[in-house]
Structure 1
Amino acid sequence: MKKRLLGLLAIFGLLLGVLPVGASAAGSGESVIYGGGPFYSGGTATMNSLRSSGYTTVMLWTIHVNSNGDLVYNDQLVVSQGKYVGRAAWPSELASLKQAPTSVKRIEISIGSADVNDFHNIKSLIASQGTGTSSILYKNFSALKTALGADAASFDDEDLYDVNTSVSLGNMLSGLGYKITLCPYSNVTYWKSIKTQLGSKVDRVYLQVYSGGSWNDPATWSKNLGMPVMPGLDSKTPTYGNTPSQVQSRMTNWKSSAGITGGFMWLYDDMLKYPNYGSPADYAKAINTALGS
């Protein structure tokens, strides 16, 4: 009995050493954090904060595609002419996110946003060069994959809504080893067509339930797209957003009404700007608690 007790204590101690605050050994829910500039310039301190936060997925928001195919992370050029040209330390910093002890299992790049021409540029580049190995889109996204090791590419198309363009891009990225995720807030017909044509290459759908998508119902979107969506909420600021307790309440309700298995938070940058409303870890705990993680 004594040996067994010592063994159990040793295992318990090991778990304490491996699991970060807010993480769980048994939970299956996915908690996702979107972040912009701090994920690029925050260095080791930001990576360590994310590793101990309780989030399972880090979303690098966002990759813009210029008319010549250059890839820009927010306003930082990161890939040009098939070569990574971003900050030299960034790839190794991102790689540390998955190093134990950590809650992070997955890194994604988001492509596009509101009020940009990213998908228009992608459409033009596909029309002129295609998506084969000699195309600039293939070369640049391959270089990005090699440098950052991202597991998935998330489509945040809010400027074009052309099914053929997104399906072509999705097939190319899948061939490069990216999983494909979708992040809609409107135009369910468009997103349903992409999901149908890409099939199992799409393994997640993130539904925006804030700003222009405030009235979205996860249950309705899940039914239309044929898979449970992961709803997202905005963090609290002086003029809009949700506190951690509100996030937990809403995610709990969606788990009951829509069977959600994950959720995301927008935006890490705002959480740093308004820490009095809740830390990134507070929001991760809210999602994980709601999902029983």
Structure 2
Amino acid sequence: MLFHVLLKALLFELYFGQVYATVNATASSNIRAIYLFKDVLKSNTTALKTSGFNSLIIFGVGILENGDIMYYSNTPGSQDTLIASGGAYVGGTALSDKVRSFKAGDTGINRLEISMNAQHVRELTRSPGTGSETTLYRNFEALKTAWALDAVNNDDESIYDVTSTAAFAKMLGKIGYKYTIAPYTNTGFWRNVKTQINNGLQEPNLLLDRAYLQCYDGGAGNDPGNWQSTLGLKVVPLVWVTNDSKPSQGITATQARSRFTSWNSRSSVAGGGYWNDYDIEKMGLSYTEYGDVLTSIFP
């Protein structure tokens, strides 16, 4: 009798353990992201929170030579803002309140990232380093608290230094950030970065846990399936919404649906995303239409 009881318990655990693993696998494949190119103080917060997106990546954050952090203006009428200096947040309450509001109240947003290139990362990680006493460490710690950030996104398109990239990512991991990448080329570099950063780590504790793959402009020919094989990590393909900057690279919501459906059917990607909110508003497009594409394919 005891044997049968134990056998039933074991089968129960195996069955529901498999169900749990399946649910987790599904949950990790529903990333619905959009890059915020517009000054967040002027963005349509309500639309971003309620149109089906669950991940926002704030573009235009940069590191200065001394380790201070700037938020650069990409919007007419806005100005560059120093947001962290000397280990403290200095960007003002209006900006911090606006950023924090993305994950508050009636919202679908559960992940908030900042995107930056690798400018000054190599020099600062070499000297003075990445210790908790450095300005670089303390500034990112202060900014995480002020903006309630979850991750830092690396949009390196020119420097490609593996050693400093990995050191910077591991510093951020100690602070409590996740680390993500936004490649469009140089697969070997990104593969090495991913290997070094995630060495010895297993899901769900990966430090580098997302790859937002640019599938437009310079990365227009990218195939998510090939990148997933190279990286050993599922990717989130990005497309560019209809725009007047490079019209040939922009796509409608209907075209986005076709591309995401095709990529996901061939390679089962981790989700989908867009570059960028500024063009959606400038071109009079619909957040809802673009968001519905993602929620229908990556629910």
Q: Distance in 2 between matches of 1:273 and 1:87?
A: 27
Q: Does 1:165 align with 2:164?
A: yes
Q: Hey, what's the Cα distance between the residues in 2 that align with 1:259 and 1:146?
A: 34
CA RMSD of aligned residues (A): 1.6
Kept in 1, the 8 Å contact 2:122–2:164? The answer is yes
- The residue aligned with 1:9 is none
State the Cα deviation string for residues 46-93 of structure 1 (Å, max 9, x = none): 222211121000111121111121211123221111111113222222
Q: Which of 263, 271, 274 is the matching residue for 2:280?
A: 271
Cα distance in 1 for residues equivalent to 2:129 and 2:276: 34
Partner of 2:144: 145
CA distance in 1, matches of 2:93, 2:52: 27
Match of 2:233 among 204, 227, 235: 227
- 1:88-112 superposed Cα distances (whole Å, 9 cap, x missing partner): 2222222222224211111011122
How far did residue 269 of structure 1 move? 0.5
Match of 2:30 in 1: 29
Q: What pairs with 1:13-162 in structure 2 (closer than 5 Å)?
A: 29-39=30-40, 41-42=41-42, 46-74=44-72, 75-112=80-117, 119-162=118-161
How far is 1:270 from its partner?
0.8
SS of equivalent residue, structure 1 residue 89 = helix
List alignment gaps of at least 5 residues for structure 2.
Answer: 1-26, 73-79, 199-205
Which amino acid counterpart does residue 110 of structure 1 have in structure 2?
S
Give the match's secondary structure for 1:170.
helix
Structure 1: how far apart are the matches of 2:272 and 2:149? 19
Structure 1 residue identity aligned to 2:42: G
Aligned to 2:180: 181
CA contact (8 A) 1:30 1:288 kept: no
3-state SS of 1:255 partner: helix
Answer yes or no: is 1:254 the counterpart of 2:263.
yes
> Hey, what's the Cα distance between the residues in 2 that align with 1:135 and 1:160?
23
Distance 1:37 1:262, change over 3 A: same
Q: Matched residue of 2:120: which SS?
A: helix
How far 1:228 sits from its partner (Å)?
A: 1.1
Q: Which amino acid aligns with 1:92?
A: D
How many residues align? The count is: 256
The residue number in structure 2 matching 1:193 is: 192
Note the alpha carbon deviations across 1:237-270, whole angstroms, 9 max, x for none.
2423010000011000011111113111001001
Distance 1:42 1:52 in 2: 17
Q: Determine the structure 2 residue equivalent to 1:11.
A: none
Q: What is the DSSP-based 3-state SS (H/G/I as helix, E as strand, rest coil) of the residue aligned with 1:126?
A: helix
Cα distance, 1:27–1:122 mapped onto 2, change above 3 Å: closer
Alpha-carbon separation, structure 1, partners of 2:103 and 2:36? 17
Post-superposition shift, 1:290? 2.6
Alignment partners' CA distance in 1, 2:223 and 2:165: 24
Structure 1 residue 176: Cα displacement: 0.4
Shift of 1:120: 4.2
Q: Aligned residues: percent identity?
A: 36
Distance in 2 (CA, whole Å) between partners of 1:230 and 1:110 is 15
1:189-209 deviation per Cα after TM superposition (whole angstroms, max 9, x unaligned): 110011111112111111000
Q: Distance in 2 between matches of 1:129 and 1:236?
A: 44
Matched with 1:115 is none
The separation in 1 between residues aligned to 2:29 and 2:268, in whole angstroms, is 13
**Residue of structure 2 equivalent to 1:289:** 296
Q: Moved runs in structure 1, 4+ residues, more than 6 A?
A: none
- Counterpart amino acid of residue 179 in structure 1: K
